[in-house]
Amino acid sequence: MGGAAGAHRREVEAWRARRIAGLNSPGGWRALAGLAWLREGRNVVGRDPSSDVVLPAGPPRAGVIEVAGGRATGTFEREAAVTLDRRLVGTVELVDDSSGEPTMLEVEGLRFHLIERDGALGVRIRDPALPARDPVLLLPHFPVDPRWRVGASFEPYRPPREVAVETVAHVRERYEVPGALGFEVGGVPCRLEAFREPGQRHLFLVFGDATNGVETYGGGRYMYAKPPGRDGMTVLDFNRAYNPPCVFTPYATCALPLPGNRLAVRIEAGELRYEGH
């Protein structure tokens, strides 16, 4: 395959190689080793199974996280050797991931930090060594086909809307919706509402289609698109539609498609089901 089609295929293959490397990286989705939702008041953190936040390694009791009025404070035992920026930490106010830079704590090789989902606070735990034990070697996908690069017109919402989106974790995530994208698949008019993540220019698409639950993951797929140009147009490359993180780990809080983002057509492009999902 040569010319523009060959160049496109090589671009998609390079993107897929970067995606696999990211999944296998110490900070990737497959490094997730736990997720615990916090309650108001004291939450014990440690390896002991009776803890509110159970660590897969580390001391039986590392400390406590106190939640009050939507804020969380961690107090950790000196003997537990919990560190922040490689320094021992005692008591610290925890910043959640909505800021983009959560307070990242470490103990015996584990990393953990606070997450916030529509007012609920939780602790996400990573084991950087986990992906190396069982790496993703490839991602099954439909054949790359340039016909699945589809022109789309952007319909802006003025002002942008905000939606609370259902997730696989049964908590909601909030997204800004700057507008919707209109396009056609096989002559059938389609429309997807687009999300904009904090600090990002590209549009984030969470969508379902008629292949879900058969060839592709039943919970839908994700994709990014460049912001529209001055003519209000962009391109949707469904060859880059990918499985959400919850396909690879039970500890992700993946957004599900809005009801209007479940397309009746088949999108025969992008990633297929992975390991039985």
pLDDT digits (tens, 9 = 90+) for 175-202: 999 999 999 999 999 999 999 998 899 9
Domains of the chain: 3-25+137-261 (no CATH), 31-128 (2.60.200.20)
pLDDT in tens, 205-222: 999 999 999 999 999 999
Q: What is the model's pLDDT at position 188?
A: 97
Q: Which residues of the chain have pLDDT under 50?
A: 276-277
Q: What is the model's pLDDT at position 1?
A: 55
Q: What is the model's pLDDT at position 263?
A: 98
Nearest to 123 by CA among 68, 57, 74, 181: 74
How many Cα atoms are found within 13 Å in the side-chain-facing hemisphere of 122?
18
Q: 159 forms bridges with which residues in the sheet?
A: none
